[in-house]
Amino acid sequence: MANIKKRGNTFKIRAYVGTDMNGKKIIKSTTFAPPHGTSEKKAEKLAQEYAFEFERQCRGYIQFNDSMRFSELADWYFTNYAPIELKESTIYTYQGQYKNHIEPVLGNMKLKNITTPKLTQVMQSYNLNPATVRKIYVIVQSIFRRAMEQGFIRYNPCQNVILPKNKNPKKVSSLNEEELQRFITLLNEKKWDEDVKRIIRFLLYTGVRSGECFALRWEDINFERRTINICHTLNDIGGKHTLTPPKTLRSTRTIYMSDTTESILREQLEYVNQLKKALGKNFAHPEMVFPSGKGNFRDRNSVLTSLKRFVKGTEFEHMTLHKLRHCNATMLLNAGVELKAISDHLGHCDINVTADIYADVLWRLKRNVSNAIEQSLNTNNSSITL
């Protein structure tokens, strides 16, 4: 059993792990600092548990120890865990965030020195949008969680970390019905690339994510049954476009064509057939519903740039591809469609996600219901005569 001695607020741990070739005892030592605010009895218990794991570690039961640096743990995470459990696009995003924001701050620190207060200090020190800091924290949290699962660390410092709060959270931005009518009129009357206009209309009428739209293949379209299968998303990973599974399990779904959506797709099919004749063998991806003008995968940024040029100088200068999705959801809510059906239609992982995103819209609808009841009762009361 490892020897434990308390020194102030820390514990000195010494473990006997055998003898060398000359018969000399091999002793390894470390220091354990319990979390701030831990009671004396609890600290002793944690020290004993830590000593047990340290001794097992020294005897070769696990490969790493708390003296390893965070960069070493991160290397293990991206080499062994990420390729198996994460999507390629997620790995690309995580690695970018790690290189830019995490490694410069935590990379050289030893695991035993990364405590909950230290992580709170680090997260509060970022001069970034609070939403971005939370994304950074998710990556750090994931790395430490896997470290605990593998027995590399005994205590997860990510527990109870205080993250910066967004004092001015962004509300879901959408268009009201009158604005939408004016936007559709603009689409119909302003001369622009008809291919891009069909994409804008499709996003507006279906509410699919832009990545899901650009990943659609003709085999996903069934004109006879009037269905659209959403089973991929198009990701740009370091300039290389790849089709990957959608964002969540529930994002894989089937949506139904309205008359307008069917009309858009039939026009697009005619356009693609003309493109095939023009490009011939140079048409790299004729299977795609919305290919680029050169027959390649559609680049999201190029479509967004075209949209920004289209709305420049109008009241819709702040329109984005994702805002078209919000417009679709808002129209459905205003039309009285059940929240569960909207959540399924949008491919959200949970109905609560839909409720959180569109909380303001739902609150406005509830207020309208209450006002309608009051108006009805007041009207009925005024007609009563004594």
Spell out the domain ranges in the chain: 3-58, 70-149, 177-358
At 98 the pLDDT is 96
Residue 337: is its pLDDT beyond 80? yes
The phi and psi torsions of 107 (rounded to 5 degrees) equal: -50, -40
Q: pLDDT class for 63, splitting at 50, 70, 90?
A: very low
Selected from 1.10.287, 3.90.700, 1.10.150, 2.60.40, the CATH number assigned to the domain covering 70-149 reads 1.10.150
User: How many Cβ atoms from other residues are within 10 Å of residue 137's Cβ?
Assistant: 19
- pLDDT, one tens digit per residue, over 68-88 is 889 989 998 999 899 988 888
Three-state SS at 230: strand
Q: In the chain, helix, strand, coil percent, each to 5?
A: 55, 10, 35
At 29 the pLDDT is 85
Paired tokens of 117: 């207060």
CA torsion sign for 134, 139, 143, 145 is positive
User: What's the Rg (C-alpha) of the chain?
Assistant: 29
Q: pLDDT class for 66, splitting at 50, 70, 90?
A: low
Q: What is the mean pLDDT of the chain?
A: 86
Report pTM.
0.68
| 149-to-51, 154, 377 alpha-carbon distances in Å | 18, 9, 61
At 375 the pLDDT is 63
* Strand-strand pairing, 10-19 and 227-230: unpaired
Residue 278 β-bridge partners: none
At 250 the pLDDT is 84
Contact 102, 139 (CB under 8 A): yes
At 49 the pLDDT is 86
Nearest Cα neighbor of 97 from 139, 144, 146, 143 is 139
Mean pLDDT within 293-316: 94
Three-state SS at 357: helix
The phi and psi torsions of 306 (rounded to 5 degrees) equal: -65, -40
User: How many Cβ atoms from other residues are within 10 Å of residue 114's Cβ?
Assistant: 21
Residue 3 β-bridge partners: 14
Contact 360, 171 (CB under 8 A): yes
Domain 177-358 -> CATH class: mainly alpha
At 23 the pLDDT is 60
Which is higher by pLDDT, 247 or 366?
247
Task: Give me the amino acid identity at 172.
Answer: V
The phi and psi torsions of 154 (rounded to 5 degrees) equal: -100, -30
160 dihedral zone (left: phi>0; alpha: psi -120 to 50; beta): left
Paired tokens of 215: 């990943």
Question: Pseudo-torsion of CA 73, 78, 83, 86, nearest 10°?
Answer: 90
Across 271-285, b (16+ Cβ under 10 Å) vs e yields bbeebeeeeeeebee
Q: pLDDT class for 381, splitting at 50, 70, 90?
A: low
Q: pLDDT class for 131, splitting at 50, 70, 90?
A: confident
- pLDDT, one tens digit per residue, over 210-263 is 999 999 999 999 999 999 999 999 988 878 888 988 877 888 999 999 999 999
Give long-range contacts, CB 8 A cutoff, 24+ apart: 363-367: 365/333, 365/334
Q: pLDDT class for 21, splitting at 50, 70, 90?
A: very low
Alpha-carbon gap, residue 177 to 179, rounded angstroms: 5
